[in-house]
Amino acid sequence: MIGRLWLCLPVAVVFAQAQEPEGDVVLRAMRDELKRSVSLTLANLERPYFIEYALHDGESLSISATLGALVSSYRSRFRAPRIQVRVGDYKFDNTNYVLSDFSFGGGVEAGQMPVEDSYDGLRHHFWLATDRAYKSALQSIARKRAALQNVSVREDLPDFARAEAARSLLEFRKESVDEEEWKQRMRTLSAVFAGYPEIVNSSADMEAVLGVFRYVNSEGSEARTPEKLIYVRVKATAIAPDGMSLRLAEVFHSRVLDRMSSDVELKKGALDLAETLRLLARAPIGEAYTGPVLFESRAAAQLFAEVLGRNLAARRRPVSEPGRPLPFVDSEFEGRIGSRILPEWIDVVDDPTQTEWRGRALLGHYQVDLEGVPARPVNLVEKGMLKNMLRTRQPVRAGEGSNGRARLPGGFGAKAPGFGNLFVHARQTVSMEEMRKKLVNLCRLSGKPYGIIIRRMDFPSSASMEEFRRIASRMSQAGGHPVSLPVVVSLLHTDGREEPVRGLSFRGLSGRSLRDIVAASEDTTVFDYLDNSAPFALMGAGSFVAESSVIAPSVLFEELQLERAEEEIRKPPIVPPPSVAAVK
């Protein structure tokens, strides 16, 4: 779980030396000010019953290039504190209310936190920030009580769950990335796209972050966890002859700075992406289709991440103001504990304690969540039956205790749940060759001339902000849980021929569709990505990210619906692109 004050960038970095708890000035300042805050006696005012201090502390350097030329290079040193004060008690407090996150003022601004390890300066900041958070909490609980005089809630649940105090203080050490070396690597990588006139926009971005997450609360929990990540992202947009815009992205991640993909691997990824876009630009637009669909393992992992994993996050509707209904979309699995959501031969486990799978490092490993609760394996689906959901310390219908899944800042005074390493295990499997045969046989049985193979989804989405706004506008009109677009799609004809198509979207695909999986493959793929709170996990959106992995096989659906995507097709450029030779 990493703060995104650095994540809008792309790479390189240096950080502080490893410190024992006694030598950590920042942690000592947090402890001491917290201890003072909870011991204060406040005349005629409700005392806080819970206070937490969290701090994301680090450095980043980002580099971006296009067509062999450097676009930007930016170094950042940041400290992102988060202070929460709860008044009332575990049963009823100032959270889970539509205005819980609102700062009501009445306090002195704390200003920016010092980035140097000044004990006095850090305590001063936490003092003022706590004072302001406390005054806002008093206002929130008063307004919440007033609102409840005129509105009713669907369920009578406590506002906060108790958790056993936990202490996890890990060391962090100094590391660095060669900025000049990575500038040249990004120039070289971005130049790959110069040989593709169909591609009108492209970039190679790289970012490295080295930091530490510190956490203390008034119950006695403490955590200090290194936050280390490096990623390289290549993005490209092509225009088909009819003006349709087509885009793809490839992202390479690593938590170990010197184990990032080699230049050969990065170049191969960029070339494969460019060749795929070239092929799609020349492909016909797909027709509306209802029939069997095969998701190859990468697309299947993306589908499970979005349609299953995100729906396993238990959410709670907050108390709203009278006459002001709050747009709120429940999980599709709300109230379905004990119901079948997958075939009986599929199990799902979230296990963030695993660091690797079959020799490959897993991005979704973590030890404690944003509430200081230790991570542990959770069986989510057993024999197709939903057994559990991802929970934080905010009580929900699915349960009142945290299972260590507070991975993102949420709304209304709560954290947002998310998974770490989501393992989708099928006990009945066949080879990929047999999967293709099953797809063809289903087509013949239903009288279809072809079936559909999906090889890649647009998840996380690489859409531009302009395009995302158009998508979001359609989403708000349609309601429900829209699913990301399939971006690499082929028709598998019954005679064995494959034909790529473009411009399709799903119709009616939802969490309930997962029950209709009829086969799974022997092969499995690890799909790593950075999750956030935005729809489609839009790249670059959200203030924080959660490193996530999905391990899943290819899957076959007996019937799904696809239709032509409702995209605006703009006219292509009137003037042809400059010659490739002109690109230096």
Looking at the domain assignment, is residue 245 inside a domain? no
Asked whether residue 6 carries a pLDDT value surpassing 50, the answer given is: no
- Of 130, 100, 101, the residue nearest 218 (C-alpha): 130
Asked whether residue 475 carries a pLDDT value surpassing 90, the answer given is: no
Mean pLDDT of 559-582: 75
Q: Beta-carbon neighbour count of residue 72 at 10 Å?
A: 11
CB-CB contact of 498 with 453 (8 Å): yes
CB-CB contact of 506 with 562 (8 Å): yes
Do 353 and 224 fall within a single domain?
no
Q: What pairing do the DSSP bridges indicate for beta strands 222-239 and 245-254?
A: antiparallel
User: Encoding tokens for residue 25?
Assistant: 């000035």
Asked whether residue 177 carries a pLDDT value surpassing 70, the answer given is: yes
User: Encoding tokens for residue 289?
Assistant: 């289709």
User: Using one digit for the tens of pLDDT, what is the confidence trace for 239-290?
Assistant: 999 889 999 999 999 998 888 999 999 999 999 999 999 999 999 999 999 9
Looking at the domain assignment, is residue 196 inside a domain? no
Domain of 400 in residue numbering reads as 289-314+334-564
Residue burial 138-175, b: 16+ Cβ < 10 Å; e: rest: bbbbebbeebeeeeeeeeeeebbbebeebeeeeebeee
pLDDT at 519: 98
- Give the integer Cα–Cα distance in Å for 500 and 356: 34
541 versus 191: the higher-pLDDT residue is 191
Asked whether residue 236 carries a pLDDT value surpassing 70, the answer given is: yes
Do 225 and 295 fall within a single domain?
no
330 versus 217: the higher-pLDDT residue is 217
Q: What pairing do the DSSP bridges indicate for beta strands 356-357 and 415-417?
A: unpaired
Mean pLDDT of 126-140: 94
Do 379 and 520 fall within a single domain?
yes
Distances (CA, A) of 174 to 13, 17, 19, 35, 79: 10, 5, 10, 30, 17
- Is omega for the bond preceding 460 within 30 degrees of 0, making it cis? yes
- Of 239, 286, 552, the residue nearest 419 (C-alpha): 552
Looking at the domain assignment, is residue 527 inside a domain? yes
**Full-model pTM:** 0.93
User: Encoding tokens for residue 477?
Assistant: 């009109």
- Give the integer Cα–Cα distance in Å for 477 and 488: 26
**Burial of 49 from C-beta contacts in 10 A (0-12 / 13-18 / 19+):** middle
pLDDT at 584: 40
- Give the integer Cα–Cα distance in Å for 37 and 40: 6
Looking at the domain assignment, is residue 324 inside a domain? no
Strand pairing partners for 203?
A: 235
Considering Cα of 394, then 397, then 399, then 403, what sign does the dihedral take? negative
- Of 17, 84, 190, the residue nearest 410 (C-alpha): 84
pLDDT at 574: 77
Mean pLDDT of 76-97: 96
CB-CB contact of 126 with 440 (8 Å): no
The DSSP element (H or E) to which 100 belongs, if any, is none
User: Using one digit for the tens of pLDDT, what is the confidence trace for 198-208?
Assistant: 999 999 999 99
pLDDT at 476: 55
Asked whether residue 5 carries a pLDDT value surpassing 50, the answer given is: no
Looking at the domain assignment, is residue 388 inside a domain? yes
Do 296 and 176 fall within a single domain?
no
Residues 6+ apart with CB under 8 A from 206: 10, 11, 12, 62, 63, 64, 182, 185, 186, 230, 231, 232, 233
Choose the weakest-confidence range: 8-17, 75-84, 311-320, 456-465.
8-17
Looking at the domain assignment, is residue 573 inside a domain? no
- Of 19, 9, 16, 26, the residue nearest 60 (C-alpha): 9
Strand pairing partners for 220?
A: none
Count CA within 13 A, CB hemisphere, residue 186: 30
Residues 6+ apart with CB under 8 A from 97: 140, 143, 144, 147, 318, 319, 412, 413
pLDDT at 325: 72
Looking at the domain assignment, is residue 194 inside a domain? no
Looking at the domain assignment, is residue 276 inside a domain? no
Assign 3-state DSSP to the chain and report helix, strand, coil percentages, each to 5: 25, 35, 40
Do 224 and 338 fall within a single domain?
no
Residues 6+ apart with CB under 8 A from 396: 157, 314, 315, 316, 389
Do 160 and 295 fall within a single domain?
no
pLDDT at 128: 94
Mean pLDDT of 71-83: 95
Considering Cα of 523, then 526, then 532, then 536, what sign does the dihedral take? negative
**Burial of 345 from C-beta contacts in 10 A (0-12 / 13-18 / 19+):** middle
| Count of structural domains, the chain | 2
Count CA within 13 A, CB hemisphere, residue 40: 18
